[in-house]
Each structure stands twice: as structure tokens, then as C-alpha cells.
Amino acid sequence: MLYYWGVELMVLLVIGYMLFVFFLLRNKRVLSPSNIVFASYFLYFVFPGTLFYILEALNWHYVLPWGKINDWAALSNEAVLSYAYVFTLFFLITRLFELVIDRRRAPDIFLEYQIRPIGIAILALAILLGGMYFFQVTGGVDAWFNDYSKTYLEKKKGYGLLNFLLLMGANFLSFALGVHWRTKKSLNVPLVLLVLVVLVFCAYIQGIKSRMFYFLIFFSLPWLCTFKLTVFKAGLIFVGFVLLFSFAMYFRSNGFYNTPGMLLEYFLSYFNTIFLHDMVLRDMPADFFLTFDFPFKKWLTFVGIPSEGYLHDISRWLTSIYYPSQWFNESATQQWPIETELYLNYGNYIFWVVPVVLCALYICTLYYLRFRGGPVLLFIYVSELLLFLSMFRGSMFQWIALFNMAFYVCIWAGRRLLFSRRSRPDPMLQKCHEV
């Protein structure tokens, strides 16, 4: 009992520490790397940890069939402290870089740029055609409407490149729609309707839960890029996220999570990365470069050198060990946190500083460049920023990065077909910006 109280106190202290550091040093520019660091640790540590102890204080009766599966009082001190350590490294290093970068006032590039409607319409039609082909070859109407979850998880094998192009293309399309909405006095209604139809269709076949979040972010970029973060606004963003997440989870589960209580319990089981990390801490010793070569193994498959699919990603590999039926029967994965990758690849905790600094330097370099290359570079920065967010529930070095870079090169090369520069800033937009 004393041991449990010690862990509980440790968890509560770390929650308080993370909140204190963020509110003391937070960057008021919402789309900054340090805010993304805090957002990740809020979602996967502060929020579920707080929710768990609130439910414990209420003597909550669990209603889901599997009951209480993640007990925060049973965590090891090392797991809790490793989260505090990595949060501290990432938050303070990115915040230090931001203080240097933010000395200059951020311009509003949307006073100078606007979309080319024909280019965006052609892009939307291309994505729609690609999406319809993907929909058909992965099962068609019967599969997608009668067994959505199974189709989404199992029927996409062999169409990874097409799925990637649809994902990135739809993200860019939602961004273009936001630019159009922000920069035009009167909307091109046929273009807007076409884009909305394409985005709704893509959201359905690519995972409603994640796509709603991504599309909302990219559509809002023309406003978010100069958005100032306050505590009240942060609270509203969190409430909106919870509502969107709950709606998407209800839809994806075919209505299984249909009460607020069930959804609350699902949050505890979904934001579970610290428990996965704790399993590895208990079962495996710290190591050096144990999974570092996984992305290279994936790339080698493209030139005919085969390897098992679970050896291409650390979460796939660990899922095949701890939850073999999920991977081998369902092609589903649990997502281990970045702490696990650091533990298995960089040995002693002191060496974790090196990859953290390199990663922080990369994302902060893009943060510096985000307003220096027009709308396309801003899109690239935010795409990498969201990948940076997913990294905390995945891997620092992902095989998909190679394809991301190829996609960025393509949209950079075609940027003049998609956006045009105004001869002079729109006075109405200038006035709105000043307000």
C-alpha cells in the first residue's frame, strides 16, 4: 500500500510539474514546437492520469466489458520519471530555440498569396478519382458499409503508396480550401463544394477519427499561423478535441461507445503509452541501436530485398511480441512512446540528449522557415509538426519520411500552379490582420 501511494504521489507531482513548466514558459504562438511537445504529454500523461484519479475518487464503477485495465498506481517509478525527463528535454530545448527565432515579428503571408482555382480543382478531381479506385479495390460498397472496421484495418494491404498519396493530397486540399476561404472576398461556390465532397469521401476511407482532426488543422492554418494562445483558448481547443474524438470513435466502433461513461473509460485505454513503455522497462534491458535499422529494412523491400513487416517499425515489432494476435491476425498495432525507442536505441539516459537535440533542431529550423517560402512551406512545416506530434507515440526515425520528402518536393515544384502572388496586399485583409 505504501508503494502504491509512492507511485500515486509521483504521478501527481509530475502532472503538476508539467503544467507548471508549460504555464510558466509557454509560447503564445499556438503552432510552435514546444506547444506540440506539451500537447503530446498532456494527452498521454496529464489528461489520462488526472482522469484516472478523478474516477478513483468517485469510486467509479467501470461499465466496459474489460473493466479497469490500466492502473496508474501500478506503474513503476522509472516509467513516470522517464516521461518527466523526456518532456523536460524536448520542451526546454525547443523553447530555447523558439526564443531566438521569435525575436522577429511573424508576417501574415496570406496578405500576399491566393489560390489558383483551376489548379486546386484539378488536384481535387485527381484525388477523387484516386479515392474511388482505392474504395473499389479494397472491397467496394459492401465491405465499406457493412464491415467498416475490418475493411479499414485489413483491406488496404498492397495499396500503401496510393493510400499515402490520398492522405497527403487530402491534407493539402483542406489547406488550399482554408487559403481560399481566408483570402477571397467571395467564395468560388462550385470549387468549395467539390473540395468538401472530396474531403468527406477521403475522411471516410482513411479513418474518420484522425482525418477530422487533420483536416480541421490544415483548413484552419491561414488563421492558426498567427493565432495567439491563451489558457481559455487552449481549454476550448481541448473541449473541441474531446468532442470530435468522441464522435469519431462512436462512428468507427459502429455505435459501441454510445454513452459518456463508456467514452471516458475508452480515453483511459486509448491514451495508454506509459503502460506499454513500463512493460518494456520490466522485460528488456536498455540497449543501443536495437531498432534503428527498421526504416532501412522497409526501404530495401522496394528494391527486392524482403523482410518481415513487423521489422519495419518499433511499434509493429513490439506488438508482434506482446500482442501477437493483434498484429498477425488483424494487422493492428499498439503504439509505444518515444521513451521506448530512446531506451532501446540510446542506452543510458544521458545519451538520450543527443537524438532529442537533433530532432528539436530539425523541427525548429522548419519553424524558422515557415513564413519564408509562401504557403507551401507553411504546409510542409505543419505536416512535419504533426509528424513530430505523432513521434511521441511512435518513432523518431520513420520509413514514411522518405515519401514525405518526395511529396514535399512535388508540391514545391508545382507551387506556382496552385498559388499566385498578389501584385499588392488586399487592403481589406490588411485591415483584418491589423485588428
Co-location of 25 and 118 in the same domain? no
Q: Is the predicted pLDDT of residue 226 greater than 90, yes or no?
A: no
Q: Of 50 and 226, which is predicted with more confidence?
A: 50
Buried-exposed string 275-294: b where 16+ CB fall within 10 A, e elsewhere: bbbbbbbeeeebeeebbbeb
Residue 180 lies in a domain: yes
pLDDT digits (tens, 9 = 90+) for 67-96: 788 899 899 999 999 999 999 999 999 999
Whether 51 contacts 268, CB under 8 Å: yes
Predicted confidence at residue 26, as pLDDT, reads 93
Co-location of 75 and 97 in the same domain? yes
* Summary mean pLDDT of the chain: 89
d(CA 203, CA 209): 8
Of 301, 334, 356, the position where a domain reaches its end is 356
Predicted confidence at residue 427, as pLDDT, reads 53
Residue 162 lies in a domain: yes
Residue 48 lies in a domain: yes
Whether 387 contacts 404, CB under 8 Å: yes
Predicted confidence at residue 429, as pLDDT, reads 52
Whether 5 contacts 69, CB under 8 Å: no
User: CA 386 → CA 69, 296, 359, 367, distances in Å?
Assistant: 29, 22, 14, 12
Predicted confidence at residue 424, as pLDDT, reads 61
Any idea how long the chain is?
435
Co-location of 68 and 44 in the same domain? yes
Mean of pLDDT values over 313-336: 91
d(CA 238, CA 232): 10
Q: Is the predicted pLDDT of residue 277 greater than 90, yes or no?
A: yes
Co-location of 411 and 349 in the same domain? no
Co-location of 179 and 260 in the same domain? no
Of 325, 356, 387, the position where a domain reaches its end is 356
Co-location of 158 and 132 in the same domain? yes
Give the three cell numbers for residue 277. 513503455
Co-location of 209 and 321 in the same domain? no
d(CA 423, CA 379): 22
Residue 287 lies in a domain: yes
100-104, 253-257, 291-295, 353-357: segment of lowest average pLDDT: 253-257
Of 296, 330, 356, the position where a domain reaches its end is 356
Residue 394 lies in a domain: no
Q: Of 310 and 154, which is predicted with more confidence?
A: 310
d(CA 334, CA 325): 12
Co-location of 272 and 349 in the same domain? yes
pLDDT digits (tens, 9 = 90+) for 162-200: 999 999 999 999 999 999 999 887 889 999 999 999 999
d(CA 239, CA 245): 10
Domain of 21, in residue numbers: 2-106+231-356
Nearest C-alpha neighbor of 414 from the set 369, 373, 376, 366: 376
Co-location of 96 and 164 in the same domain? no
Give the DSSP H or E segment for 295.
helix 294-301
Residue 147 lies in a domain: yes
Residue 427 lies in a domain: yes
Residue 362 is which amino acid?
Y
Predicted confidence at residue 2, as pLDDT, reads 40
Whether 39 contacts 22, CB under 8 Å: no
Co-location of 215 and 115 in the same domain? yes
Co-location of 128 and 31 in the same domain? no
d(CA 343, CA 336): 11
Residue 380 lies in a domain: no
Helices (H) and strands (E) in the chain, counts: 22, 2
Give the three cell numbers for residue 388. 513530430
Q: How many domains does the chain have?
A: 2
Co-location of 250 and 324 in the same domain? yes
The residues pairing with 421 across neighbouring beta strands, listed in sequence order, are 113
Give the three cell numbers for residue 235. 481549454
Does pTM top 0.85 for this prediction? yes
Q: Is the predicted pLDDT of residue 435 greater than 50, yes or no?
A: no
